[in-house]
Amino acid sequence: MVSPEYGHKEPTKLTRMSSIATIAIIMVLVVGGGSYIYTAPYAGNAGLSRMPGVRIGGTLTDAPKDFSALNDIGTNLIMKLDGFPPFVVYLAYIGTPEGVITGTRPDGGYWPQRVREGRNEGWLRIGDETFAMQATEILGDARRPMLELWSPRAASSRRAIAQAAGETVPAGDSSFGASEPRLLPEIFLWTPR
Protein backbone atom coordinates (compact mmCIF):
# COMPACT_ATOMS: atom_id res chain seq x y z
CA MET A 1 0.00 0.00 0.00
CA VAL A 2 1.28 3.46 -0.89
CA SER A 3 1.18 6.27 1.62
CA PRO A 4 -1.85 8.57 1.17
CA GLU A 5 0.37 11.65 1.31
CA TYR A 6 1.75 10.87 -2.15
CA GLY A 7 -1.68 10.48 -3.70
CA HIS A 8 -0.84 7.22 -5.48
CA LYS A 9 -3.13 4.29 -5.64
CA GLU A 10 -2.07 0.72 -5.88
CA PRO A 11 -2.34 -0.45 -9.51
CA THR A 12 -5.35 -2.56 -10.22
CA LYS A 13 -5.07 -6.07 -11.58
CA LEU A 14 -6.50 -4.88 -14.92
CA THR A 15 -3.83 -2.16 -15.24
CA ARG A 16 -1.06 -4.67 -14.55
CA MET A 17 -2.47 -7.14 -17.09
CA SER A 18 -2.75 -4.36 -19.68
CA SER A 19 0.88 -3.35 -19.11
CA ILE A 20 2.08 -6.93 -19.41
CA ALA A 21 0.08 -7.41 -22.62
CA THR A 22 1.51 -4.21 -24.11
CA ILE A 23 5.07 -5.27 -23.29
CA ALA A 24 4.45 -8.74 -24.75
CA ILE A 25 3.05 -7.27 -27.99
CA ILE A 26 6.01 -4.91 -28.32
CA MET A 27 8.46 -7.78 -27.76
CA VAL A 28 6.74 -9.94 -30.40
CA LEU A 29 6.89 -7.06 -32.90
CA VAL A 30 10.57 -6.37 -32.18
CA VAL A 31 11.60 -10.03 -32.40
CA GLY A 32 9.42 -10.64 -35.48
CA GLY A 33 10.66 -7.49 -37.23
CA GLY A 34 14.28 -8.27 -36.43
CA SER A 35 13.91 -11.84 -37.64
CA TYR A 36 12.31 -10.65 -40.86
CA ILE A 37 15.03 -8.08 -41.53
CA TYR A 38 17.86 -10.55 -40.96
CA THR A 39 16.41 -13.64 -42.63
CA ALA A 40 14.15 -12.69 -45.58
CA PRO A 41 14.59 -13.35 -48.39
CA TYR A 42 16.03 -16.76 -47.80
CA ALA A 43 15.99 -19.31 -50.60
CA GLY A 44 15.40 -22.16 -48.18
CA ASN A 45 11.97 -20.80 -47.34
CA ALA A 46 10.73 -22.57 -50.50
CA GLY A 47 7.13 -21.35 -50.60
CA LEU A 48 8.17 -18.04 -49.07
CA SER A 49 10.97 -17.35 -51.54
CA ARG A 50 8.92 -14.51 -53.07
CA MET A 51 8.64 -12.94 -49.61
CA PRO A 52 10.53 -9.65 -49.59
CA GLY A 53 13.14 -8.67 -47.04
CA VAL A 54 15.02 -5.41 -46.50
CA ARG A 55 18.74 -6.34 -46.50
CA ILE A 56 20.65 -7.20 -49.66
CA GLY A 57 24.11 -7.95 -48.26
CA GLY A 58 27.07 -8.81 -50.45
CA THR A 59 30.10 -6.66 -51.26
CA LEU A 60 29.53 -3.54 -53.36
CA THR A 61 31.57 -4.18 -56.51
CA ASP A 62 32.24 -2.32 -59.75
CA ALA A 63 30.15 -3.73 -62.58
CA PRO A 64 31.94 -6.09 -64.98
CA LYS A 65 32.24 -5.25 -68.67
CA ASP A 66 30.25 -8.41 -69.49
CA PHE A 67 27.65 -9.85 -67.10
CA SER A 68 27.59 -13.18 -69.01
CA ALA A 69 30.45 -14.40 -66.82
CA LEU A 70 28.06 -14.35 -63.83
CA ASN A 71 25.60 -16.85 -65.33
CA ASP A 72 27.39 -19.80 -63.71
CA ILE A 73 26.72 -18.50 -60.19
CA GLY A 74 23.04 -19.48 -60.09
CA THR A 75 19.64 -18.87 -61.61
CA ASN A 76 18.46 -16.25 -59.11
CA LEU A 77 19.79 -12.90 -58.02
CA ILE A 78 18.67 -10.66 -55.18
CA MET A 79 17.29 -7.24 -56.15
CA LYS A 80 16.75 -4.14 -54.02
CA LEU A 81 15.34 -0.89 -55.35
CA ASP A 82 16.48 2.42 -53.92
CA GLY A 83 14.02 4.41 -51.85
CA PHE A 84 11.23 3.68 -49.42
CA PRO A 85 9.97 1.19 -48.60
CA PRO A 86 13.18 -0.81 -48.77
CA PHE A 87 12.58 -4.37 -49.85
CA VAL A 88 14.56 -7.18 -51.40
CA VAL A 89 13.26 -9.95 -53.67
CA TYR A 90 14.65 -12.91 -55.61
CA LEU A 91 14.48 -12.78 -59.41
CA ALA A 92 15.52 -15.20 -62.13
CA TYR A 93 18.18 -13.56 -64.32
CA ILE A 94 20.46 -13.99 -67.28
CA GLY A 95 23.65 -11.98 -67.71
CA THR A 96 24.50 -10.51 -71.12
CA PRO A 97 27.30 -8.26 -72.40
CA GLU A 98 24.88 -5.29 -72.16
CA GLY A 99 23.65 -5.96 -68.61
CA VAL A 100 21.33 -8.25 -66.67
CA ILE A 101 17.90 -9.36 -67.89
CA THR A 102 15.19 -10.06 -65.31
CA GLY A 103 11.50 -10.69 -65.68
CA THR A 104 8.37 -10.77 -63.61
CA ARG A 105 4.73 -11.70 -63.96
CA PRO A 106 2.54 -9.11 -65.64
CA ASP A 107 0.42 -8.82 -62.52
CA GLY A 108 0.85 -5.16 -61.59
CA GLY A 109 3.58 -5.98 -59.08
CA TYR A 110 5.02 -3.30 -56.84
CA TRP A 111 8.65 -3.21 -57.98
CA PRO A 112 7.90 -3.01 -61.74
CA GLN A 113 5.51 -0.15 -61.01
CA ARG A 114 8.25 1.71 -59.14
CA VAL A 115 10.57 1.27 -62.14
CA ARG A 116 7.90 2.64 -64.49
CA GLU A 117 7.46 5.66 -62.21
CA GLY A 118 11.14 6.50 -62.66
CA ARG A 119 12.41 5.06 -59.39
CA ASN A 120 14.56 2.60 -61.31
CA GLU A 121 17.87 2.71 -59.42
CA GLY A 122 18.80 -0.19 -57.23
CA TRP A 123 21.24 -2.97 -56.53
CA LEU A 124 21.58 -6.50 -57.84
CA ARG A 125 23.37 -9.12 -55.79
CA ILE A 126 24.73 -12.06 -57.72
CA GLY A 127 26.62 -14.47 -55.48
CA ASP A 128 28.57 -12.35 -52.98
CA GLU A 129 28.90 -9.33 -55.28
CA THR A 130 26.43 -6.43 -55.27
CA PHE A 131 26.24 -4.03 -58.21
CA ALA A 132 24.71 -0.52 -58.40
CA MET A 133 22.32 -0.73 -61.36
CA GLN A 134 19.34 0.90 -63.03
CA ALA A 135 16.41 -0.89 -64.65
CA THR A 136 14.71 -0.18 -67.96
CA GLU A 137 11.54 -1.97 -69.01
CA ILE A 138 11.89 -3.52 -72.45
CA LEU A 139 8.78 -3.15 -74.61
CA GLY A 140 7.71 -4.03 -78.14
CA ASP A 141 9.80 -6.10 -80.54
CA ALA A 142 12.96 -5.63 -78.45
CA ARG A 143 11.39 -7.73 -75.69
CA ARG A 144 11.16 -11.00 -77.70
CA PRO A 145 14.93 -11.82 -77.94
CA MET A 146 15.45 -10.92 -74.28
CA LEU A 147 12.46 -13.05 -73.29
CA GLU A 148 13.93 -15.98 -75.23
CA LEU A 149 17.24 -15.62 -73.37
CA TRP A 150 15.62 -15.25 -69.95
CA SER A 151 12.82 -17.88 -70.15
CA PRO A 152 14.97 -21.06 -69.78
CA ARG A 153 16.63 -19.61 -66.66
CA ALA A 154 13.24 -18.67 -65.22
CA ALA A 155 11.98 -22.22 -65.81
CA SER A 156 15.05 -23.61 -64.00
CA SER A 157 14.39 -21.23 -61.13
CA ARG A 158 10.73 -22.33 -60.85
CA ARG A 159 11.77 -26.00 -60.82
CA ALA A 160 14.33 -25.37 -58.06
CA ILE A 161 11.79 -23.52 -55.92
CA ALA A 162 9.19 -26.26 -56.46
CA GLN A 163 11.69 -28.97 -55.53
CA ALA A 164 12.66 -27.10 -52.36
CA ALA A 165 8.95 -27.01 -51.45
CA GLY A 166 8.62 -30.76 -52.09
CA GLU A 167 6.61 -30.29 -55.28
CA THR A 168 7.40 -31.60 -58.73
CA VAL A 169 7.30 -29.62 -61.96
CA PRO A 170 7.86 -31.49 -65.23
CA ALA A 171 11.08 -30.43 -66.99
CA GLY A 172 9.19 -29.14 -70.05
CA ASP A 173 6.63 -27.22 -68.01
CA SER A 174 7.19 -23.49 -68.16
CA SER A 175 4.09 -22.61 -66.18
CA PHE A 176 4.09 -22.59 -62.40
CA GLY A 177 0.53 -23.66 -61.84
CA ALA A 178 -2.39 -24.84 -63.88
CA SER A 179 -4.58 -22.07 -62.50
CA GLU A 180 -2.28 -19.30 -63.76
CA PRO A 181 -2.79 -18.10 -67.33
CA ARG A 182 0.18 -18.13 -69.69
CA LEU A 183 1.05 -14.48 -70.04
CA LEU A 184 4.26 -13.03 -71.39
CA PRO A 185 6.42 -11.77 -68.53
CA GLU A 186 7.47 -8.16 -68.19
CA ILE A 187 11.18 -7.93 -69.09
CA PHE A 188 13.70 -5.50 -67.60
CA LEU A 189 17.30 -4.78 -68.56
CA TRP A 190 19.55 -3.70 -65.71
CA THR A 191 22.62 -1.66 -66.65
CA PRO A 192 25.38 -0.22 -64.44
CA ARG A 193 24.79 3.28 -63.11
Distances (CA, A) of 126 to 63, 84, 94: 11, 22, 11
Greater model confidence, 46 or 14? 14
The reply to whether the predicted model has a pTM over 0.75 is no
Greater model confidence, 162 or 145? 145
191: nearest Cα among 71, 102, 75: 102
- 110-145 per-position pLDDT tens digit: 888 889 998 899 999 998 899 999 999 999 999 999
Euclidean distance between CA atoms 182 and 170, whole angstroms: 16
- Identify the DSSP state of 74: -
Ordered by start, the domain boundaries in the chain are 4-39, 47-192
Contact 188, 112 (CB under 8 A): yes
Q: Tell me: pLDDT of 171 over 60.
A: no
Q: What are phi and psi of 5, to 5 degrees?
A: -70, -20
Q: Which CATH class is domain 47-192?
A: mainly beta
Euclidean distance between CA atoms 113 and 145, whole angstroms: 23
